Structure 1
Amino acid sequence: MSSFDRIIVCETPFDVAAEYAALQRGACADGACAMFVGSVRDFNAGNGVTQLALEHYPGMTEKSLAGIIADARARWGLGRVHVIHRVGAMQVNEEIVFVGVTSPHRQAAFAACQYIMDRLKTEAPFWKRETVHAEDGASEERWVDARASDTAELEKWA
């Protein structure tokens, strides 16, 4: 892992503007910055979602994210790479994930940011549980399976 990489797995919300500023701080040689911020949506698989909870194995998760970042660095000339991923209970519209990448050129920054997200969605050891409105109006919890569309996105990097 490069000294310019930052991986945070936390239960607390993060400030996107502050994360952008941290990513840019000292990245004078990099003319490009690409970011992705994912948040909890209010609808999934035919039901309204009221809450999302993520579980993980501490240590194992960070190691997986470090490997994904190392693979991205091997593909593109990158400056700074920051990945923040929330765990625990989150409400609709709360941010779940931040991926930020700097590079001397925009093509590498865009590609690396998407690559990291595609790998994260399919390989990082997070388990999602949604609280949804059931057909009868009651609330129920369900585990969220990986989506075929995420796997298809990953295949383009092979």
Structure 2
Amino acid sequence: MILAASTGGQILGSIGTAGLGLILATVFILGTRPNSKHPLNANRALTVCLVAGVVWMSAGQIWGVPDDLLSKALTALMKTQALGDIGLGAVSIVLVVIAYMVNLKARTAGYLGITMASAFSLTGGGWAMLTASIADMATGWAS
């Protein structure tokens, strides 16, 4: 059984985290096009992009740019306290509420998923444990 599990990952060849990030980005872009053969609905686009955002953070280099930009924006929002004393936990919950309560188009839901990946990892606690679990699963699959 161990032999079968260890050789199973090489059926498709080496993927890597950057490769998995590329695959997920391609699924998102092609799945949200108007005439896509296999369109993604909003929930699937959000899920693909939440995972993609976490994988991009793991891949680093150019793939980490969306997280860098979003992290800086969220951190700046917290430091200015323009809206009062709002913590990152509240921001994470608001993002989940938006995903649940608003009827989003697939592409917009995908962007929200990428934002959620960055916000969850910054928030810490259970939110960061969620993104760490996704990262462990995705990078394990990609290797």
TM-score, normalised via structure 2 length: 0.25
Task: Give the structure with the higher percent helix.
Answer: 2
TM-score, normalised via structure 1 length: 0.23
Looking at both structures, which has the greater relative contact order when contacts are Cα pairs under 8 Å and sequence separation is at least 6?
A: 2
Task: Give the structure with the higher percent strand.
Answer: 1
